[in-house]
């Protein structure tokens, strides 16, 4: 990186942003394993465009099923590895806690974003977070990045902080990011 250049990032939620979710009991859930993993068709091209524009791509994902005993860390890591092989992701950060843990990393708290930003010297004012749930948007707002909400029709509560943009897909989110970069 040259003198005067800053590191900028796009922080991405995983399930519902990069790959399809599964609806169970009226709630969007992550794939149970690699056999359920389906990457969205626009993800590779959208992320390639962000990389070409100079963004670090960092996944920040809540995976509370690990704490709940409904999923293993090995399966979550396997899904992340498969996504990393298919997409130009620079780093995956996983919160394996449930709400009861009161950790700093579980979204809507900004711990994962702030940790990655510190490690990579990211300028948060020039960065974005893309997510499909209220927790993602509130996390991005708390971290000081601009936010893009991908509307998947879950019918969940709205975030406390309005997103900067609402998109129908990751491709639409990237189009807006590239058109609104500082």
The one catalytic residue in 15, 132, 138, 164 is 15
Rounded distance, CA 119 to CA 146, Å?
A: 19
The one catalytic residue in 13, 136, 138, 164 is 13
15 in active site: yes
90 in active site: no
53 close to 6: Cβ distance less than 8 angstroms: no
Nearest 5°: the CA angle 146, 87, 60 is: 40
Q: Scanning the structure block, which residue is given the tokens 């465009």?
A: 49
Query: Active-site residues: which are they?
Result: 13, 15
């Amino acid at each position: 990186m040259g003198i005067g250049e800053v590191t900028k990032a796009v922080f991405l939620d995983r399930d519902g942003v990069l790959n399809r979710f599964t609806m169970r009991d009226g709630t969007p859930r992550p794939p149970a394993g690699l056999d359920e993993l389906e990457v969205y068709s626009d993800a590779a091209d959208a992320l390639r465009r962000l990389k070409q524009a100079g963004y670090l791509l960092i996944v920040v994902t809540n995976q509370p099923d690990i704490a709940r005993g409904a999923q293993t860390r090995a399966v979550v890591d396997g899904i992340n590895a498969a996504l990393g092989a298919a997409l130009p992701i620079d780093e995956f950060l996983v919160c394996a806690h449930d709400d009861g843990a009161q950790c700093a990393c579980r979204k809507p708290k900004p711990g994962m974003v702030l940790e990655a930003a510190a490690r990579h010297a990211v300028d948060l004012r020039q960065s974005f977070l893309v997510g499909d749930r209220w927790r993602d948007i509130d996390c991005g707002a708390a971290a000081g990045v601009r936010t893009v909400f991908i509307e998947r029709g879950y019918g969940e509560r709205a975030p406390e902080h309005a997103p900067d943009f609402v998109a129908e897909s990751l491709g639409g989110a990237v189009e807006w990011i590239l058109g609104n970069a500082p």
